[in-house]
Amino acid sequence: MALAIGATLLAYQSRNTGLLVGGAVIGAVVGAPIGLRVAMTAVPQRTAMSHAFGSLAVALVGAAEYYRDLPGIDPFTTSVLSGEMVLGFLTFTGSCIAFAKLQGLIPGKPLLYRGRMFASLGTLAAAVASAVYLVLNPTQESALPLLVGFALLFGFLLVVAIGGADMPAVIAILNSFAGISAAGLGFVLDNRLLIVAGALDGSSGLILGIIMSRAMNRSFANILFGGVGGAAKEAGVAQAGRVAQTYTPDDVATVLRDARSVIVVPGYGMAVAQAQHVVKEIADFLQGRGVDVKYAIHPVAGRMPGHMNVLLAEAQVPYEQLWEMDRVNPLFPETDVAIVVGANDVTNPAARTKADSPLYGMPILDVDKARTVVFVKRSLGPGFSGVDNDLFYLQNTMMVLGDAKKVLTDLLASMRNLRD
């Protein structure tokens, strides 16, 4: 951004130097502390805010360009501007709602009501109709506020009806919309940098969305219009009458003493507890005793693609010990212990067996096939999708409840004591 602003000032000898430099300073003063302080687990909502600001800026510049070119604006420019404004304004409200859901400011449950599809698609149709009217009658500026209003409303209606668990994928799709919108504006302004940056953003957001939806075995249409995650009727109910067996770190240390093969399954809870370093210490300890240790990486473990890879790399876990889901799944039946560290949904067999579950169809890590499963988490509560996990109640499951970093630190101490 500094390069772009500097180049603009040099190239155009702008008279508005104060405005540009002032804007850059305000942006840096507000943005830098947010970027530095934001927890890694909150990156999805921070990204949603960036999209909201970016798309609003693009849409507002588009509106300014339209008014500036009046009354001689041509239909082609109007059509590109109308399209990018619809995308930009809907991305703005959609991203704000995604931020509010992920930050817990509003409930993550999808807002489902009768006629929801009619209301959403009707509003989109009204936004598109306003855009078409504007293209056919470029000087009828009264259509522009209608276009803006309908696009803003559609972004709101679209995202409030999507469950919180789908927000990261929605953010990737909105990212793509914001990029396409910016690229469109680049054509109108004849700004190649904006075209390239917008196209990069648009395509990378789309690819990210495809990766996420494939990993969850869901289509874009199902994510955007499926209203998945609302009923959560399994949560809580499934626990009635069932007892999970809880154990201490000392118990787990005893089991691990006899293990020859261990697979560590990290998830969102490892990120929250920042337990990756102690996980690595435990793995090192076990490997020092000749145990075969692998890490199983689910593509949507955590809150963004690659989340676990980044954390484990930070803890200096060698890359060759990270095993992708398809490669590691056949190994679980011959594994002595699977240690699940703050992962939940990505291990939940409901994805295989319960057709009415929001998780149904998502490929999972087959930890249930290991001889013993150790779950390290704070409670018997569900994960991001709100679905109870039957694995907690199986015979071969050891639940060790507590903060992952604390539990694993105690486990490491117990293992060292046992050796001594």
Task: Out of 216, 263, 373, 374, name the contact with ligand NAP by CB under 6 A.
Answer: 216
- The 3-state DSSP composition of the chain as helix, strand, coil percent (nearest 5) reads 65, 10, 30
Give φ, ψ of 373 to 5 degrees.
-115, 125
Task: Out of 100, 161, 169, 256, name the contact with ligand NAP by CB under 6 A.
Answer: 169
Q: Can residue 109 be called a binding residue for ligand NAP (CB under 6 A)?
A: no
Paired residues of 263 in beta bridges: 294, 338
Q: Can residue 164 be called a binding residue for ligand NAP (CB under 6 A)?
A: no
Closer Cβ to ligand NAP, 160 or 171, answer by number: 171
Chain positions 183 to 202 lying near ligand NAP, rule: CB under 6 A, are none
Residues in CB range of 239: below 8 A, 6 or more apart: 380, 388
Stretch of 7-15, 94-102, 243-251, 262-270 contacting ligand NAP, by CB under 6 A? 262-270
Structure tokens at 319: 């890359």
Q: Can residue 410 be called a binding residue for ligand NAP (CB under 6 A)?
A: no
Is 345 a known active-site residue? Answer: yes
Q: What SS3 class is residue 270?
A: helix
Task: Out of 83, 179, 227, 383, name the contact with ligand NAP by CB under 6 A.
Answer: 383
Q: Taking CB under 6 A as the rule, which mask of x and - marks residues 308-347 in contact with ligand NAP? A: ----------------------------------xxxxx-
DSSP 245: P
Among residues 363, 365, 361, 300, the alpha carbon closest in space to that of 329 is found at 365
Asked if 201 and 178 touch (Cβ cutoff 8 Å), the reply is yes
DSSP structure string for 76-109: HHHHHHHHHHHHHHHHHHHHHHHHHHHTTSS-SS
Structure tokens at 189: 């302004």
Among residues 344, 272, 343, the alpha carbon closest in space to that of 311 is found at 272
Q: Can residue 408 be called a binding residue for ligand NAP (CB under 6 A)?
A: no
Q: How far is the CB of 346 from ligand NAP (least distance, A)?
A: 4
Stretch of 7-15, 25-33, 146-154, 294-302 contacting ligand NAP, by CB under 6 A? 294-302
Task: Out of 377, 399, 400, 408, name the contact with ligand NAP by CB under 6 A.
Answer: 377
Structure tokens at 164: 């919180």
Residues in CB range of 23: below 8 A, 6 or more apart: none
Q: Can residue 143 be called a binding residue for ligand NAP (CB under 6 A)?
A: no
Q: Vertex 163, ends 162 and 166: CA angle to 5°? A: 90
Stretch of 101-109, 110-118, 163-171, 250-258 contacting ligand NAP, by CB under 6 A? 163-171
Closer Cβ to ligand NAP, 213 or 335, answer by number: 213
Q: How far is the CB of 349 from ligand NAP (least distance, A)?
A: 13
Task: Determine the Cα–Cα distance for residues 303 and 244; give it in Å rounded to an integer.
Answer: 27
Q: How far is the CB of 201 from ligand NAP (least distance, A)?
A: 18
Task: Tell me the catalytic residues.
Answer: 345
Residues binding ligand NAP (CB under 6 A): 165, 168-169, 212, 216, 267-269, 272-273, 300-305, 307, 342-346, 377-379, 381, 383-385, 403-404
